Amino acid sequence: MNLVIKLTIFVLTVLTVAAFFVFDYTGLNLQRAIPQTWHNLRLLFLEPSLNHFDWQVAIYQVAVTLALGALATVIGGVIAFFLALLAAENLSTPRISKTIRVLMAFVRAVPTVLWVLIFAIAAGLGSEAAVLGMLFHSVAYLVKAFSESIEELDVGILEAMRATGSNWWHIVVHGVIPSTFTYMLLWTFLRFEVNFGVAVAMGAAAGAGGIGFELFMASGFYFDLREVGFITYSILAVAILLEMISTQLKQRNFPSKVTR
């Protein structure tokens, strides 16, 4: 394993060094490029402002982005829960469990952006394609997380319930859900954080709207670095808020564990 790690680092280092020799430096003037870069960074991070829309529109667009992420997460979480029950080896047959796991692995292997583009071809650019793309990847992600949480249940609990004559659904309602609900909630919220970031990117790539579309317009259409800076700070603020909520949930439910 150490040899593989060292070889990987060596190859990446060689490729990085080689990349600098194959760059096209035609027209590069460092005397102009360095001051201009500093000027752009100063406008971007030190002078953020809104020029093409106001605060109300900014708040609304952030809310739209959050809604897109929440919609994909909630629907995906519900679908993933039922699929996870069939994917968990302690609740399902080996054939069904392996089949679902293979299908979900295939879905996870395809990046979210590619799923969005696939649905954009079928449904057209817009929020529908973005939500469907995020939904597909969210289901595959949460099925793996939920099924692993279910498989970590104490075997004695399931055996005791089966010994008392409990059927499959009774075991799920009274044994699985109470024991794994907290873990599933945390995994779902973690996926919501991921979907928020994806929704920002899809706002520009798939025309889904939200703050991502405003970022695309400010950077690619208006080329307003001050507005790009303001939008970047607003996205960062929401991301920090979501991380704080996630940390509080973990500390409340797992006070003895180290939060990420």
First-to-final CA distance of the chain: 26
Which is nearest to 195 in space by CA: 104, 81, 129, 112?
Answer: 112
What band does 255 get if pLDDT is binned at 50, 70 and 90? Answer: low
Q: Is residue 5 part of a domain?
A: no
pLDDT tens sequence across 103-145:
999 999 988 888 888 888 877 777 888 888 899 999 999 999 9
Q: Is residue 59 part of a domain?
A: yes
Q: Within a 13 Å sphere around the CA of 10, how many CA atoms are in the beta-carbon half?
A: 6
Query: What is the count of structural domains for the chain?
Result: 1
**What's the token pair of residue 6?**
């060292």
Task: Give exposure, 95-120, as e/b (b: 16+ Cβ within 10 Å).
Answer: eebeebbeebeebbeeebbebbbebb
Q: Is residue 37 part of a domain?
A: no
Q: Is residue 14 part of a domain?
A: no
Compute the distance between CA of residue 248 and CA of residue 110 in angstroms, rounded to an integer. 32
Compute the distance between CA of residue 62 and CA of residue 51 in angstroms, rounded to an integer. 17
Compute the distance between CA of residue 147 and CA of residue 87 in angstroms, rounded to an integer. 6
What percent of the chain is modeled with pLDDT above 70?
97
Mean pLDDT computed over 137-164? 90
pTM comes to 0.83
Q: Is residue 220 part of a domain?
A: yes
Q: Which residue has the tokens 């402002």?
A: 49
Strands (E), the chain: none
Compute the distance between CA of residue 132 and CA of residue 114 in angstroms, rounded to an integer. 11
pLDDT tens sequence across 8-59:
999 999 999 998 888 887 777 878 888 999 999 998 889 898 888 888 888 9
Query: Which range, of 62-71, 118-127, 206-215, averages the lowest pLDDT?
Result: 118-127
Structure confidence at residue 260 (pLDDT): 41
Q: Is the pLDDT of residue 166 over 80?
A: yes
Q: Is residue 3 part of a domain?
A: no
Structure confidence at residue 232 (pLDDT): 92
What band does 241 get if pLDDT is binned at 50, 70 and 90? Answer: very high
- DSSP letter (8 states) at residue 1: -
Structure confidence at residue 72 (pLDDT): 94
**CATH number of the domain bearing residue 97:** 1.10.3720.10
Name the packing angle between helices 127-151 and 94-109 (round to 10°): 140
Compute the distance between CA of residue 213 and CA of residue 126 in angstroms, rounded to an integer. 11
Q: Is the pLDDT of residue 259 over 80?
A: no
Structure confidence at residue 251 (pLDDT): 80
The DSSP string of 110-172 is S-HHHHHHHHHHHH-SSHHHHHHHHHHHHHHHHHHHHHHHHHTS-HHHHHHHHHTT--HHHHI
Q: Is residue 75 part of a domain?
A: yes
Range of the structural domain that residue 119 is part of: 55-153+185-253
Which is nearest to 48 in space by CA: 214, 233, 229, 219?
Answer: 229
Q: Is residue 40 part of a domain?
A: no
